[in-house]
Amino acid sequence: MTVLDILAKRNADKLRAVEADGASVRYHLRMRDGVVGIIDAFELFDGVSLMFNSIPRGTAEWDDREPCELQIDWCRRGRFELDAANGRAIRLNEGELAFHDERVLKRVMAFPSPLYTGLTLRIDRSVGAASLERALHGRTVDLDGLARRLTGEDGCTVCDPDPSMRALLGSFWDVDERAPLARLRLKALELVALVDATPSFAPHAESYQRRSTIESLERSMRLLESDLESAVTLRDAANAADMSVSSFKERFVRAFGISPMAYRRQCRLECAARLLETTGESVARIALSVGYRNPSKFSAAFASAFSHSPSEHRALHRDGERGHGRINPTA
C-alpha cells in the first residue's frame, strides 16, 4: 500500500483514487467548497513516490500522521500554504523548494492562487533508502543524515533552488507518455544525487504581513480576477487595496509570490484554458472574452504558458489525454 493509499483511507471524504493506467494512479483532492484538484502519483521504487499536483484555489483540512520520511516539494506555479500541527505556518511560493520530515503534520492546506502546480517526492527513510541504494548500484545513501541536514531544527526548510536544480525540477514535466515510469525514476535518482551533493541550502526567513494588509491585497486580487475582458491597470488594483502603486506591487509580490499584472495574465490564460476544454467557442472569441484583442498575441501567450497552442489544448482534452500538465511557470 502506497503513502497516498494510506492517506486516502484516512481522508476518505477528501482524497480518492479515480483512475489508474499501470504507471500511475490519479487521485482527486476535494476542497471545502467542492473544488477538485488532481494528483498524479507514481510509485517509483518501494518507499519512493512521486506526485504531480494540479490544485485550483481552495482549502482542505487534512488528517496526516507521516511515516518516518523525507519529503521534497517544489512549487512550479502558484502558491501553497500549510498550517501544521506543530504551530508552524509554511508558505511555498512559485519556484521555491521545500524539504520537510515527519515532524511537519498537515492540518490545513490552502492554495490561494488560481492554480497550484508542483511536484512532491516522498522517500521512506528505511524502505525508500534501501531502494535508492539498490537503484544507485550500491552507493550509500545516508537518508537520515540527509534529512537532518535539509530539514533543520524545525523539520522544514524553504529555499530557492540553484539554476541546475531548477532546470532538473522543471524537466520532470518534459516526460511524455513514452515509458514515463522508467524515465521519471532516472530523474528522481538524479534529483536525490544532486540534493545530496549540494553542500548547503540557504533557508528563507519568512516575511509575515499583518492580516489587515493581506485583506487589502485580497480586495485587489478579486479585482484582478474579475471582468477579464476589460482593462484593469496596476493603479486600479492599487486603489482597491488603498495603497500607493509602488507599495502595493511590493506587498503583493511578497504575499502571493507573483506580480499583480502577471497574476491577472495568469487568470486570463487559465480562464481561456477552461473555455477551450468546456465550450465550442472559437479561439478568437475566447481570446476576446479574456481580454486579448489580437488572436495572434493570445495564441503566443497561451503557448508560452501551456507549451502548446489553444487549438492543440482543445484537441488534447477532447482526446482525454491524462498526462500531468505542461504549464510553463514563467508565462
> pLDDT, tens digit, for every residue of 33-45?
888 899 999 999 9
Q: Which CATH class is domain 3-197?
A: mainly beta
Mean pLDDT, residues 151-162 taken together: 87
Q: In the beta sheet, which residues pair with residue 73?
A: 98, 120
Cα–Cα distances (Å) from 131 to 37, 72, 101, 138, 147, in that order, read: 30, 17, 18, 10, 16
DSSP string across 271-305: HHHHHHHH----HHHHHHHTT-S-HHHHHHHHHHH
Cα–Cα distances (Å) from 134 to 70, 182, 245, in that order, read: 18, 15, 56
Asked if the model's pLDDT at residue 166 lies above 90, the reply is yes
Mean pLDDT, residues 187-204 taken together: 89
Asked if the model's pLDDT at residue 329 lies above 60, the reply is no
Asked if the model's pLDDT at residue 240 lies above 90, the reply is yes
Asked if the model's pLDDT at residue 62 lies above 60, the reply is yes
Going by pLDDT thresholds of 50, 70 and 90, the confidence category of residue 328 is very low
Q: Which CATH superfamily is domain 211-318 in?
A: Homeodomain-like (1.10.10.60)
The 10 Å Cβ neighbour count of residue 267 is 20
CB within 8 Å of 167: residues ≥ 6 apart: none
Mean pLDDT, residues 148-158 taken together: 87
Higher-pLDDT residue of 272, 318: 272
When the pLDDT of each residue in the chain is averaged and rounded to a whole number, the result is: 85
The b-or-e profile of 12-34 (16+ CB within 10 A means b, else e) is: eebbeeeeeeeebbbbebbbeee
Mean pLDDT, residues 225-240 taken together: 92
Asked if the model's pLDDT at residue 193 lies above 60, the reply is yes
Task: Locate the domains of the chain by residue range.
Answer: 3-197, 211-318
Q: What is the pLDDT of residues 81-117, one digit of tens each?
A: 887 665 667 888 889 999 988 888 777 888 887 788 9
pLDDT of residue 209: 55
pLDDT of residue 85: 61
User: Matching CATH topology for 3-197 and 211-318?
Assistant: no
pLDDT of residue 297: 94
Burial of 65 (0-12, 13-18, 19+ CB in 10 A): exposed
The predicted model scores a pTM of: 0.70
